[in-house]
């Protein structure tokens, strides 16, 4: 009898990211997981692999799910995963977690509820932190979507945090945006306050079993009617009530999402959205790289900072000097 002690086990070998690419494309979930982890960690070694993966993207329907905290986004996503996988879809989910830039922690409690749906089905669910990015969605969120897209997942759901910049930025990442509102959160204009009323392709109202849900549906319909007049060919944003207890209502939501995807493909809008997504990604990546360069230390930063602290230069002059744009003062 051979006793295998822990130290006798073969050590895991770091496999080059490029070697994982064929496995990602073949849909190997372990390799998909690893590739997303490397994108999230920002490994330079993974950049060529991610560039290779990017070539195989552009097939998936990307759905953004947003709404204020407490609206029930995670529950809705769980129900959607069930409904979509039952239809034979291979569903990818990127759930963006709130994280503090100070503690670095992420509140993961919400995610636990998703497990039963994810484990049993053809779904790939991944939580990602939003930490360290520069307003808007993190570069690694887009890269994780790429990995799932290249691996054949569609639709891919991005579930946002529910506060701040991400909510409106989701429109530059997704083909179809679902805005979830909850009835009776004490404020009928949650979606307006959050600035997310206008970005909805589909409005969903959670907790349909609550009596207040109907009032919230009416309020949203009323607000939609106040919006800009659309021509006949344009998409008419539906307002649906959903409930995690009713499979039928989830089916209605799924149908609305499907109809929107068909509408995009039949009209010019898909090309427009693809264009906007690419534009936002290039701009976002450039900002990310720029921030990185600053974080690593730009030559002359300390001198400029001292000048600003001693009121010998104002921040605009210092910033232009650091960028090498001194001559652009007038255009500031």
Per CB under 8 A, which of residues 262..281 are in contact with a second copy?
A: 274-275, 278-279, 281
In the complex, what is the shortest distance from the CB of residue 214 to a second copy, in angstroms, rounded to a whole number? Answer: 23
Chain Cα centroid distance, residue 220: 24
Distance CA 51, CA 35 (A): 12
Binding segment for a second copy (CB under 8 A), chosen from 10-18, 120-128, 157-165, 236-244, is: 157-165
Contact between 134 and a second copy by CB under 8 A: the answer reads yes
Identify residues 189-218 at the interface with a second copy (CB under 8 A): 192-195, 198-199
Supply φ then ψ for residue 131, to 5 degrees: -55, 140
Q: Which of 103, 236, 268, 327 binds a second copy (CB under 8 A)?
A: 103
8 A C-beta contact, residue 82 and residue 164: no
Q: Going residue by residue from 298 to 317, which x/- string records binding to a second copy, judged by CB under 8 A?
A: ---x--xx--xx-x-xxxxx
Closer to a second copy by Cβ: residue 88 or 186: 186
Indicate which single residue of 64, 98, 183, 238 sits in contact with a second copy (rule: CB under 8 A).
98
The two most distant CA atoms of the chain are separated, in Å, by: 82
In the complex, minimum distance from the CB of residue 63 to a second copy, in angstroms, rounded to a whole number: 20
Q: Which of 247, 303, 325, 326 binds a second copy (CB under 8 A)?
A: 325
Site string for a second copy, 59-88 (x = CB under 8 A): ----------xx------------------
Choice between 97 and 213, CB closer to a second copy: 97
What's the min distance (Å) between Cβ of 280 and a second copy? 9
Return the structure tokens found at 29.
């979930």
E strands present in 182-318: 202-205, 239-241
Shortest reach from residue 75's CB to a second copy, in Å:
17
CA angle at 325 for the pair 322 and 331, rounded to the nearest 5°: 130
Tokens found for residue 224: 């939609």
User: Which residues, including other chains, have CB under 8 Å from residue 122's CB and lie 6 or more apart?
Assistant: 85, 89, 90, 91
Sorted by sequence, the CB contacts under 8 Å of residue 121 that are 6+ apart come out as 81, 82, 85, 91
**Which range touches a second copy (CB under 8 A), out of 84-92, 120-128, 131-139, 211-219?**
131-139
Beta carbon of residue 311, minimum distance to a second copy (angstroms, whole number): 5
Q: Count the neighbouring beta carbons within 10 Å of the beta carbon of residue 29.
A: 11
Give the shortest CB-247-to-a second copy separation in angstroms: 29
Supply 76's token pair: 């809705």
Minimum Å gap between C-beta 332 and a second copy is 5
- Total residues contacting a second copy (rule CB under 8 A)? 73
Residues 6+ apart with CB under 8 A from 52: 18, 21
């Amino acid at each position: 009898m051979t006793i295998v002690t822990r130290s006798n086990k073969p050590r895991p070998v770091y496999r080059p990211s490029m070697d994982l690419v064929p496995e990602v494309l073949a849909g190997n979930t372990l390799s998909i997981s690893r590739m997303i982890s490397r994108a999230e960690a920002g490994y330079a070694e993974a950049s060529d692999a991610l560039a290779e993966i990017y070539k195989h993207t552009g097939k998936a329907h990307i759905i953004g799910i947003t709404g204020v905290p407490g609206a029930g986004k995670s529950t809705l996503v769980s129900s959607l995963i069930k409904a979509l996988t039952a239809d034979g879809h291979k569903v990818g989910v990127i759930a963006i977690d709130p994280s503090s830039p100070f503690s670095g922690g992420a509140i993961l409690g919400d995610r636990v509820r998703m497990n039963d749906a994810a484990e049993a089905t053809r779904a790939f669910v991944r939580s990602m932190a939003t930490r360290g990015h520069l307003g808007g969605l993190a570069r690694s969120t887009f890269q994780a979507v790429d990995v799932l897209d290249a691996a054949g997942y569609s639709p891919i759901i991005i579930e946002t945090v529910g506060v701040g910049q991400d909510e409106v930025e989701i429109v530059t990442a997704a083909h179809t945006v679902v805005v979830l509102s909850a009835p009776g959160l004490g404020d009928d204009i949650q979606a307006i306050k959050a600035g997310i009323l206008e970005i909805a392709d589909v409005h969903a109202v959670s907790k349909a079993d609550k009596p207040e849900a109907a009032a919230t549906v009416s309020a949203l319909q009323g607000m939609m009617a106040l919006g800009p007049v659309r021509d006949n060919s344009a998409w008419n944003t539906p307002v649906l009530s959903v409930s995690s207890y009713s499979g039928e209502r989830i089916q209605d939501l799924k149908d609305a999402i499907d109809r929107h995807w068909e509408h995009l493909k039949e009209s010019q809008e898909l090309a427009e959205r693809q264009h906007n997504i690419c534009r936002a990604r290039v701009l976002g990546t450039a900002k990310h790289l720029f921030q990185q360069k600053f974080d690593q230390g730009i030559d002359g930063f300390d001198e400029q900072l001292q000048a600003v602290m001693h009121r010998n230069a104002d921040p605009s002059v210092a910033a232009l000097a650091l960028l090498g744009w001194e001559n652009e003062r007038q255009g500031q």
